[in-house]
Structure 1
């Protein structure tokens, strides 16, 4: 006779808590938005006349200064979202983990 046992998956044995909290995802989303905004700001159209060089269109403040600053701010925001400590779950009253209030 073949005995059938229900095998427990290694994935279903653990708790289903996320590594990051809601605020972490918000920070990472804002950072991703800043990065995409910086890339869109850096992108630009072509020259109106292909026979004439206009350096002020290519080397403008928007493309040379503003866009990289937006992207760096986005990367910093994403890194802060990753390294920010997640909010601790609220302690249940029966666990006795209540901390004294000051």
Structure 2
């Protein structure tokens, strides 16, 4: 018959289970308030460019507005198809959109100054 191998059990000391340490309320408040100290994605210059672009878009919309005839019985194509409404207003609006896109993609100066200069000192 086959011999049975006996399993040897090692006596290990019982591991102590520790209760989880409750977090202190002050730690939670510190982490909440420290999260607000991060820098914005856009800098001051970005917001200025975006504001200029939005002002150009609004100016283009104002230039395109109007078109009511002084007399409803007459048709004057010079009022509706004027240079201001057909050419100037769309140019202002497209320029405004381009300026807004430039303001969004422009790099801020804080990123460039935050990186240390790696030139060796003499």
1:12 is aligned to 2:33:
yes
1:78 alignment counterpart: 100
Cα RMSD after superposing both structures: 2.4
1:61 is aligned to 2:80:
no
1:87 is aligned to 2:109:
yes
SS in 2 for 1:18: coil
| Partners of 1:71 and 1:84 in 2: CA distance | 20
Q: State the aligned residue count.
A: 94
Query: Does the C-alpha gap of structure 1 residues 11 and 72 become closer, same or farther in structure 2, counting only changes over 3 Å?
Result: farther
Greater RCO structure (CA 8 Å; 6+ sep): 1
| Partners of 2:76 and 2:30 in 1: CA distance | 63
1:21 alignment counterpart: 43
2:67/2:80 contact within 8 Å kept: no
What runs of 5+ residues in structure 1 fail to find an aligned partner? none
1:32 is aligned to 2:47:
no
What runs of 5+ residues in structure 2 fail to find an aligned partner? 1-21
1:51 alignment counterpart: 73
Normalising by structure 1, report the TM-score. 0.78
| 1:22 to partner: Cα distance | 1.0
Q: Which has the larger radius of gyration?
A: 2
